[in-house]
Chain A
């Protein structure tokens, strides 16, 4: 057994998301490392190590929270729970986003996404993040979950504020504004009982007893936070990789059947959630390092997704590589429950864009830093359309 190398890594200190890739390379080169920041935690960044941890969720558990530093009472459902509780919680979500139900959502999603992109085009472009990237998942939360438009309009600012506070205070306190919003949504659904997913949750049972208000709030908080920021970041990164090489747009136009592969490569290459935490329930050896029971462990998805031991020329964006097996959604028990919905939204964006004039940068983008020590995507992405072809090829838009 070797001594664990110490590294000064602090995911909350990454202010330049572009520079983080070099940091992940260094972490991977060292194997399993340990940081003294935030009370001390181990760092796994090689694909092999991250996958091994995700495949052993009883040892690398979530019930002590999945953020480093710890989050106090700020646990959200089902992310920060282990079985048996986790199993019943997670089913509440997965039964709503089966392949069949997501297929049923496609016409409504397509209409909404086409409308956003048509509006963006009619304006001659603008900041993708503000004009399309953020409204898209917020609209999904209205259409698919049942939040009110005026509720989702507050999610972005409140989430961004909570991330700024997370390394200093209990996540429950940092998320007080969000908890208050979902409390009001539950109240509204109890009173007016609209025919939607949130209303359907109110009557649910967990292990033979009625679901509590506290559980409902923590579950809705997962939608409020995980349901908008991740997709916003993924679509921003997708547009970035689309405009950075015009040949990619040409190829997708000629072969729209490449769209699913393009989406997967965007997810691998950008890793919208760059890392997540676990806590060990027993002593465990990984990469020749013994990690004691009760240790915080950071799983660096972004490092794993660019590990050359798993992906050839991992630092290159390559639609033809076959990105299957990437860990952008995590893997196994806690794998993103909304993965299929997110993939579908991203595919619909590209299916629309290949019918439009090409897009290009209209100014300098800002790729931002890691929000909350995890979330990565462009914060500002000024784009415009290069030609004045109309979507149906007839007439001019401008």
Chain B
């Protein structure tokens, strides 16, 4: 088991769980500004460590579109 890869905006945290990822690439399709598919490993690469309000809609679509449930967007807690 590996810990999810996380990146954050001021209010939210995006988690990418590579144990769950099945390499569909839907996130790359929904949010090309945020994700790229590594063709050697077929897992997504996070292109940015943060996102703007304008990019949030695409990011939410990427989370919703993931058939594997490997992406999660959650409120940032006190520990960040």
Where the two chains meet, the residues of A that have a C-beta atom closer than 8 Å to any C-beta of B are: 55, 94, 97-99, 102-103, 260, 324-325, 329, 331-335, 337, 339-340
Contact = CB atoms under 8 A, between A and B. Distances in A.
Contact of B42 (A102, A329, A331): A102
B67 A99 contact: no
A103 B67 contact: no
Contact of B67 (A102, A260, A332): A332
A117 B74 CA distance: 49
Given A99-B41, A102-B42, A103-B41, A340 B24 contact: yes
Given A332-B26, A334-B67, 19 more contacts: A55-B64, A98-B21, A98-B22, A99-B21, A99-B23, A99-B42, A103-B41, A260-B39, A324-B28, A324-B29, A325-B29, A332-B64, A332-B67, A333-B67, A335-B24, A335-B26, A337-B67, A339-B22, A340-B42
Nearest to B28: A324
B43 to A, nearest CB: 5
A291 B42 CA distance: 38
B26 A331 contact: yes
Contacts of A329: 24
A339 B22 CA distance: 9
Given A324-B29, A325-B29, A99 B64 contact: no
Given A332-B26, A337-B22, A94 B68 contact: yes
18 contacts: A94-B22, A98-B19, A98-B22, A99-B21, A99-B41, A99-B42, A99-B43, A102-B23, A324-B25, A324-B28, A324-B29, A332-B65, A335-B26, A335-B67, A339-B23, A339-B24, A340-B23, A340-B42
Interface residues of B, number: 17
Interface string B51-76: 00000000000001101100000000
Given A103-B41, A331-B65, A340 B26 contact: no
Contacts of B22: 94, 97-99, 337, 339-340
Nearest to B68: A94
* Shortest Cβ-Cβ A-B pairs, 8 listed: A99-B23, A335-B67, A99-B42, A340-B23, A325-B29, A99-B43, A324-B29, A94-B22
B45 to A, nearest CB: 12
A335 B29 CA distance: 14
Contacts of A99: 21-23, 41-43
Contacts of B19: 98
A85 to B, nearest CB: 16
B73 to A, nearest CB: 16
Best-surrounded residue of B22, B25, B26 (most CB of chain A within 10 A) = B22
A83 to B, nearest CB: 11
Contacts of B64: 55, 332
A97 B22 CA distance: 7
Contacts of A103: 41-42
Interface in B3-24: 19, 21-24
A340 B67 CA distance: 13
A102 B41 CA distance: 9
A97 B67 CA distance: 13
Contacts of A55: 64-65
Nearest to B44: A99
Contacts of B26: 331-332, 335
Nearest to A335: B67
